[in-house]
Amino acid sequence: MEPSWALQSLDRISLPSLAFENAAEMATEGLHENETLASLKTEAESLKGKLEEERAKLHDVELHQVAERVEALGQFVMKTRRTLKGHGNKVLCMDWCKDKRRIVSSSQDGKVIVWDSFTTNKEHAVTMPCTWVMACAYAPSGCAIACGGLDNKCSVYPLTFDKNENMAAKKKSVAMHTNYLSACSFTNSDMQILTASGDGTCALWDVESGQLLQSFHGHGADVLCLDLAPSETGNTFVSGGCDKKAMVWDMRSGQCIQSFETHDSDINSVRYYPSGDAFASGSDDATCRLYDLRADREVAIYSKESIIFGASSVDFSLSGRLLFAGYNDYTINVWDVLKGSRVSILFGHENRVSTLRVSPDGTAFCSGSWDHTLRIWA
């Protein structure tokens, strides 16, 4: 029997290439007809040089130097307070509900589970028609979840408490990419979803109609992560990819506003600083970095010689003073964002930490791992 989701794949015509051609046409305005490839490449090189020069002019001091006058942090005692067991394989992604209590998580075995983190009870479970569900997100209303992975799609499932209803029956296919879905996030409402994909693009979709609202082209390889700017700072988001670049986008125009290329390897995770003026990244090059958007440059690196495994996931504490980062060496490192030093290292997971998010009210954070479990730390 043909699963309903397979039929739905024909409904959606994704037009990322069309949107891109329009943007390209606009980009050629103001350029002369007889420009050659060589002259364009020379201009590109000179612009890159100018960019570096302008950035360097404002590099008058290092963040950690300015932060010397800030009081050092004391000892932190953070422990695992809950362990969520139930996934049959690697946990790949998780997200908190705005109620600060429920969590959605997704796994390599195709299962997506909604948990009550206070009691560790499973409230909902659905099996996706694909394995490697790399992305999942909770809707702002708390009434739905979105997920996707190797099926190249992002699907939305309304959450129902009717025991007789099959969650999978109400599934809605929203996004269609031409390669795996690596990340997804609802915008300010349940109506729109932002996605990132192994096809090198990000896209904004209308949930109700499944229509593509905007596409974002610019990464030269798989896009692995994205994060929306805090709502006060306007309509932008940041993405990170296998091209080692972090790019900041205007959601309305599809334009890349700023880009940063200082990592030495794939960027697995990006997260905005709570004020929206900066963002952190975690990379396979074993470092996390902080980029300030108004200074338009990297302002801190969080690294140690003893840390040689990639950082898979990062998130800030509520004030932005602490950066929690999960690594492929099974640990979680806690960094002093301002001073650049590590304040704590947390052990507990028995395999790679693949996902990490601080709860909406900042009382705890949750980590998911290839060891099949999720842990709540406080």
Partner 1 sequence: MFLKSASGSLKMSGKTASTTNNIAQARRTVQQLRIEASIERIKVSKASADLMLYCEEHAKKDPLLMGIPASENPFKDKKTCVLL
Touching partner 1, residues 36-65 (CB under 8 A): 36-37, 40-41, 43-44, 47-48, 50-51, 54-55, 58-63
Q: What angle do CA 124, 125, 128 make, to 5 degrees?
A: 145
Q: How far apart, in whole angstroms, are the C-alpha atoms of residue 147 and residue 48?
A: 38
Q: How far is the CB of 248 from partner 1 (least distance, A)?
A: 10
Give the C-alpha distances (Å, rounded to integers) separating 358 from 81, 230, 306, 313, 367: 14, 14, 25, 11, 9
**Residues of this chain, 105-144, that bind partner 1 according to CB under 8 A:** 117-118, 132, 134
Dihedral angle, C-alpha 333, 339, 341, 345, nearest 10 °: -30
Residue 219 binds to partner 1 (criterion: CB under 8 A) = yes
The count of residues interacting with partner 1 (CB under 8 A) is 87
Neighbours of 1 (CB within 10 A): 3
Decide: is 296 part of the binding site for partner 1 (CB under 8 A). yes
One residue of 171, 217, 245, 271 binding partner 1 per CB under 8 A: 217
**Is residue 101 a contact point for partner 1 (CB under 8 A)?**
yes
| Footprint (CB under 8 A) of partner 1, residues 339-378 | 358, 361-365, 376, 378
Tell which positions 304-333 bind partner 1, by CB under 8 A.
Answer: 312, 317-322
Interaction residues for partner 1, span 15-34 (CB under 8 A): 24, 27-28, 31
What SS3 state is found at 251?
coil
Rounded CA separation 357/378 (Å): 12
**Nearer Cβ to partner 1 (78/191):** 78
Q: Kindly state whether residue 35 participates in binding partner 1, applying the rule CB under 8 A.
A: yes
- The binder of partner 1 chosen from 13, 143, 221, 308 (CB under 8 A): 221
Considering the rule CB under 8 A, would residue 96 count as an interface residue with partner 1?
no
The C-alpha atoms of residue 101 and residue 123 are separated, in whole angstroms, by: 12
The residue type at 37 = L
Taking the complex as a whole, the smallest distance from the CB of residue 242 to partner 1 amounts, in Å, to 6
Residue 230 in the binding site for partner 1 (CB under 8 A): no
* Residue 232 within binding range of partner 1, rule CB under 8 A: no
Q: In terms of residues, how long is the chain?
A: 378
Position among 191, 256, 301, 345 found at the interface with partner 1 (CB under 8 A): 256
Least separation in angstroms between residue 110's CB and partner 1 is 14
Going by C-beta distance under 8 Å and a sequence separation of 6 or more, which residues neighbour residue 297? 55, 58, 59, 260, 291
Closest CA to 221 of 202, 200, 203, 239: 200
> Could you give the residue ranges of the DSSP H alpha helices within the chain?
4-8, 16-27, 37-57, 63-66
Q: Is 7 in the site for partner 1 (CB under 8 A)?
A: no
Query: Quick check: 258 binds partner 1 (CB under 8 A)?
Result: yes
Interface positions, 174-213, toward partner 1 (CB under 8 A): 179-180, 198-201
